[in-house]
Amino acid sequence: MSIKVRYFASLKESVGRSEDELQITYPLTVHAVWQQLNPDFAMPDAVLAAVNMDYVALDVLVLDGDVLAFFPPVTGG
């Protein structure tokens, strides 16, 4: 199973990458995906997550083919 992970704005700069591809053998939570991909970087408190462009809680399971995005608080308008 494969999921795509995207990072935006200041979080993209902190992580040093805009995208990751993660192969998983069983469903993982959003938070667990972060930990697998960023073992040396604790997720900042204010981080928001979206799966397939909808906001999700960090304990939601990510499934094969999902696109998961992490980003800081939004500041448009």
Partner 1 sequence: MYWHFFRRLPEVDVLIRLCEAAVDPWQEIASYQAGLAKLAGKYGATSVFVGSMRDFNQGDDVRSMFLEHYPGMTEKQLQHIVEQAQEQWPILESLVIHRVGLVKPEDVLVVVAVWSAQRGDAFDASRFIMENLKSRAPFWKKEVLASGAERWVEKNTDGYQHQPS
**Interface residues toward partner 1, by CB under 8 A:** 6, 8-10, 46, 50, 53-55, 69, 71-77
- Whichever of 23 and 75 has its CB closer to partner 1, that residue is 75
User: Smallest gap, in angstroms, from Cβ of residue 72 to partner 1?
Assistant: 7
Return the number of other C-beta atoms located less than 10 Å from residue 44's C-beta. 12
CA–CA distance, 77 with 75 (Å, rounded to integer): 7
Q: Report the C-alpha gap between 61 and 67 in whole angstroms.
A: 12
* Least distance CB 76 / partner 1 (angstroms): 3
- Min dist. Cβ of residue 8 to partner 1 (A): 6
Nearer residue to partner 1 within complex by CB, 50 or 63: 50
Q: Which residues pair with 71 in a beta bridge?
A: 48
Yes or no: say if 42 and 33 are a contact pair by the CB < 8 Å rule: no
